[in-house]
Structure formats: structure tokens, C-alpha cells
A and B are shown apart, each in its own frame.
Chain A
Amino acid sequence: MGKKKLTIGEASKPRFEYRTFGRDFENAAFLMSRLSVPVPRKVWERFSQEIYIVSRTNDVNNTKIRDGKMDIKTFVQEVDGLEQWNPLMKGEFPMKVDVLKNEVFPAFKVEMPEFEKDEYTLEEFLEIVKNHPDLQAVSVEKQRFGYMVNDTICEVANVWINGAAVVTVNSESTEIEDIKKTIKDLELEGVENINYLQAIKRVIGMIDKKLAN
């Protein structure tokens, strides 16, 4: 049976992802733009403002809040250096204390704080994060340019982490071989796969490691 082609913006089975972060991916961005098939206008350029909650004790769950909605993804497996992440939970603020106790804080893998209310607004939740020694809320702004190369969903993006700028490029697909071909075509072979969580932790000094360039 032939593989099902990916369509930008449509749900698919969990995808594998290659992503890296640094200061300069001009060459990869140029190649991506030239190798891409035409993509829908809505993904040409997108802006978003998000808050990532990073936990000192956890690299396997990725928590992000956009437009008052929380989205937690969990790391499933790594194959040939490519990472597969699955949705773990989706929630909205105000959030019930049971959801915070049973789903959100266990995903952070930190000591459970004391809760005094039945539900929490985003501002109240961020106050709990601020007072927790192992958690940090990080402002992440993205300007994303979408492409499709070798049937993989690709993007090059300018990302501002707490106001400071980095660049990211990525390729994602359900098909590992398509991503590997894309990495080769974008001349990114040997460049470390760095996911959002890792990049943010490196910039804010939670991990003492450099970005790809």
C-alpha cells in the first residue's frame, strides 16, 4: 500500500520531526524555498505568541499555551535521530483544579504545589508557576514560513525567546525516509536535532549547551 500524502493543516498520525535551532540557516531556508511545492497561502507566513512552561526536572513533556489554551505533547520515541511526540492533553483556562492535579502537574514531573481554589485562570496558573522553584514560564513569539519538501511539512521561523531572537528550521512527516532525504537536500546532515524544549532551556540557561550555530 502506498503512503498517504501529508496535507498541511490536516490531522495525521503522529509525525516524526527533525528540528534545529541557531542563528543562521540562510542556506537551508533558501533550499527549502526552492525545493518546496506550492503551499496554501494561509501557511506562507504565520505569527503566534505562546507561553512555554519549562520544568527543570523534565525533558519528555512539552507544555505550551496559546490563546488561553494549553497543549501538552509527550515524547514517544526516537528513530534514526528523529523524534516522535504525541498529544498528551489539551485544556483551556480557566482550568479545573482536578485537571491541574491529575494531568498538568504530573506532566511537569515536579513537586505538587498546594491548590486552594476549584479552578484557575491563566494568570493564577502563571503565578503558581512563578512561585515554583523548578518551573519557568517563557514567552515565545514565532514568525513562521511554511513549505512542503519531499512530502514533508517544513518551516523556517524566526523565534523570539523572552525577547531574544533565534532561527529554527524543521521537517516533519509520518515517513522517516522522507525526512532523512529532506535533511540531506537542505544540507543539514550532521546538524543536531534540537526540539523547542531543548532550545528554550539552552537559551534560558537551564541546560548548559550551545544551539546548532
Chain B
Amino acid sequence: MSPKTKPRYEFRIFGNNLTETEEKINKLSKKEKTRKMTSVYLLASGNPGNNIKIRDGVMDIKVLENVKYGLEQWNPFLVGEFPLSSEVIRTVVFPSLGVQCPVLERDKYTLKQLVDELITVDPDLSVAYVNKTRHSYTINKCITEIAEITVNGAFIKTICVESEEPEKVLKVKNKLGIDDTVENVNYPLALKRIMGLVQLPEIWKSWDF
């Protein structure tokens, strides 16, 4: 994270039928850019306050710092570049996953070694390969995003509004017609639902959400 960046408050939704909100976003702002990226998420059924992600060979962990008005403020810290030392895996990665670290037989682990030897063998842990196509907008100075993503090959959409100032996010939510009954779902929670690591809410059992 750049030292100047202040953690932002975030509101995010996932679904298959977000057309109404997408249309409102497109009316309120011009699309600024589209980026494609692949991320690997390490997930456990517990640890709701940690988001462990690898992108371009670098691991970072976001920690849930604060919740205000139902908006979540996540603070990222850089773990390091692969190969990761066993020391970092033992003292940072596994504590963040919230499960006991197994015996580490290597001094350093590539991402593949970490996944194959330490993650997929543990029934409490899972890996999600997420391809994202992210379209960015700005509404009332809030970063706003519509993204098409695949989670281990399965497709879903997500929309996000974020800002350092939570009041601004609330205003944009209001402009987009998203009321307080709509659940704020962060990335790890959405991935855990798709992967069956946490209880699936009734609404996710119907494709038209």
C-alpha cells in the first residue's frame, strides 16, 4: 500500500441480475477504464476478518479494521513475493487463515508448492482462482466498480462503491437505489459462499439475485 493511501470504506454486492444498478451507474458516470486480472484467494471457513490474496506473484492480506454504517474498512499489508519463506508462512499466512500451521519441510515455497502441499491437502482450507474484468467509474468522488468475475470457472457479477469517507459511500448507495436491506458482501465472504465454506443464504440459491 502506498503510504499516502488511507484505507477506504467499502460497500459491495454480488449477483447474477444487477442490470438495474449497472444502468444507474452508467447514467451517473462514464466508464473510465477496464482492467483484467487474475487473483488467487486462500480461504478458510473461519477468519472473517482476513482477506488473503495473491496477484502477480505477490501476496497481500487485507485486515478488517472497522465497520461504520454497515460499510467495511479493510487495511492491506504486503506479505511478500513468492517464493515465500517458511517463516512468513508459519508466522503470517497460517495465523491469518486461522488454522494450525502444518510441519513445513521446505525453506521456501512457490505459490504452486504452497497450494499443492499446504492448502489443498487441508479440508479446512480452499483455493479460489478468480479472473476479474473490472470496469471503473467515479460517482460523487467515490470509486465505483462493475466487475465480471469467474470463481474457479463459474461466473458472477459484483458492484462496489468505496471511499475514504463513509458518508460519501452512503450517498452513492442511495443514488443507486440500494437500501439498507441489501447485504454488504465482501470478496472472501462471496467466495466462501460459492465454495460452500459458509452457509449459503436463501437468496443465493436462486439464480435471479
Contacts and interface: CB of A to CB of B under 8 A. Distances in A.
Contact of B204 (A22, A130, A163, A208): A163
Interface string B177-209: 000000000000000011110011000111101
Interface string A42-68: 000000010000001000000000000
Contact of B154 (A130, A133, A203): A203
A51 to B, nearest CB: 9
Interface stretch (B53-61, B87-95, B96-104, B122-130): B122-130
B159 to A, nearest CB: 15
Interface of A: 21-23, 49, 56, 130, 133-134, 136-139, 141, 143, 158, 160-166, 202-206, 208, 210-211
Contact of A141 (B120, B151, B156, B207): B207
Contact of B200 (A134, A158, A163): A163
Interface size classification for chain B: 20 to 34
Given A56-B123, A141-B205, A141-B206, A163 B193 contact: yes
Interface of B: 14, 16, 43, 115-116, 120, 123-124, 126-129, 150-156, 193-196, 199-200, 204-207, 209
Nearest to B120: A208
A162 B194 contact: yes
A15 to B, nearest CB: 26
A129 to B, nearest CB: 10
B196 A204 contact: yes
14 contacts: A21-B153, A23-B155, A143-B207, A161-B194, A162-B204, A164-B194, A165-B16, A166-B155, A203-B154, A204-B126, A204-B152, A205-B43, A211-B152, A211-B154
